[in-house]
Amino acid sequence: MLEKSVRRLYEAQKSKTILKSQIGNENHDHLYASNDVALESAFNDGMPTSIAEEYAIQRDIRPYFGKAGINTSVIGAPPDFAMLAHSEGRTIKHYACTLFFDIKGSTRLSLLYDLEKVVAIKNTALKTCIEVIRAFDGHVHRLMGDAVMAFFSSKDALPENVIIDAMNCAVTLKAVIDNTLKAWFKDEGFDIQDFGFRVGCDFGNDEKVIWTNYGYSSVGEVTATGLSVDMASKLQSLSKRNQTMLGQGLLDFIDWPEEFSEIKKSRGEEKKVVEPNITDAYGCPLNYKMRILQYDKFLSFSSLPISFRREISSQVTYQNELSFFCSIDESGATRYNSAAYFLDKNSSLYFFLKVPQYQDVRYPLTVKLKKTNYGKEAEEAEQSGFEDINPLKFYKCDASEVGSDYYFYVRYEETRYRGIHTMECEVRDALNRKLLKDTVGVLIK
């Protein structure tokens, strides 16, 4: 999915680092054009490639999550708080989801390769991280050596949605680094056995995060202050290689299921809270909960394309280009991007199986569904847990023709309980061959 974009990013970085720059002879008039004009020119008119490369990864990712356009935000505070730089003493209380990303194992690279190559490797990793963050509407706040600090916060977005943006970002980062970036570095002959990453992520609501400018207007920084901001950094340091550690503020706010996370273990001992376990004003230990994000389970219902997820997840099967999807209208025209944003309660959902007409599929198809509700509200209503729905059989004559595809209407559901819920689908043909196994994640406010 992203191989070409990452390859171009590395090759461009390598050439800029190792070769003499010709930047002084370039015409930079395009930089003063609007973003849309500059990008259109960059991709179609042969403009210097740096602009095109900067947004290439975003362009690959954003459509799968229902995000239009691109995120052109610059380093620093989210735009909604930029005015604080010139308002000394002013503060704004507003939620934030904070993400810390850190490269692991980069120190050894300096012992193996020329510094120019080390710069190319590290900067490609950081640029990839920056673009994945921006792909999910995050804002890169600060670069610190091998680390990136980012905020997900907007006055126009639901707090639930910025949280799931941050989590989708973390999952996508791992997928891209492990299965695109590292694989390509290896193909290039680099020894990256110790190369990895760590992520820490936490959330604080409006009453627990405050934004202000530290320092002066000329030498200062607009940033957020709050326990969750500090904890995100600590969670990153407590995470193991290639893992994301989630904090209590995030876990509690969206009622994240324990089934999609796990407790950290160190030398056989469970680590359930952030250490050192600081105390409050009364001397009581904080016992701030932390859990490791279960990457493979989250990936099973990610909006990343199934053709990509199939290569890296044991929980996905993909044959004959079949797909299972959810729509918010009964025709199937308006798709709900799996686990990409939160829906209102009492919304209608329609689940479909899509089969390309040109595929040689043996009918009838047997469709097995498994619905699982999670969270406190579902538990209180005695509706938590999974439900195996009786298998359904579909013949070609049961389908609606939509363009060059057959659409089979599979199931209707309503959104009722706050939290995350899943609908798993398995499809077998008349010869009992498994053609598809995929899951839709439904997020409810």
What is the tens place of the pLDDT at every residue in 219-275? 999 999 999 999 999 999 999 999 999 999 999 999 999 999 999 999 899 999 999
The domain locations on the chain are: 70-298, 303-444
The domain covering 70-298 belongs, at the CATH homologous superfamily level, to Nucleotide cyclase, GGDEF domain (3.30.70.1230)
Signed CA dihedral, 65, 69, 70, 74: sign only? negative
CATH number of 303-444: 2.60.40.10
Average pLDDT, the chain: 89
Tokens of 27: 């015409």
- Specify the pLDDT at position 179: 85
Partners of 370 in the β-ladder: 388, 424
Examine domains 70-298 and 303-444 and report if their fold is the same: no
Q: What is the mean pLDDT of residues 10-21?
A: 58
pLDDT in tens, 394-418: 999 999 999 999 999 999 999 999 9
In percent, the amount of the chain with pLDDT more than 70 equals 89
Joined together, the tokens standing for residue 178 give 């492990």
For residue 276, whether the previous peptide bond is cis, meaning omega lies within 30 degrees of 0, is: yes
Pairing mode, strands 323-327 and 335-336: antiparallel
Query: Beta strands 243-247 and 196-204: pairing type?
Result: parallel
Q: What is the largest CA-CA distance in the chain?
A: 72
pLDDT digits (tens, 9 = 90+) for 59-112: 999 999 999 999 999 999 999 999 999 888 899 999 999 999 999 888 888 888
Query: Can you give the pTM of this predicted structure?
Result: 0.89
Q: pLDDT (tens digit, 9 = 90+) per residue, 274-319?
A: 999 999 999 999 999 999 999 999 999 999 999 999 988 888 999 9
Q: What is the pLDDT of residue 109?
A: 84
User: What residue type is assigned to position 26 of the chain?
Assistant: E
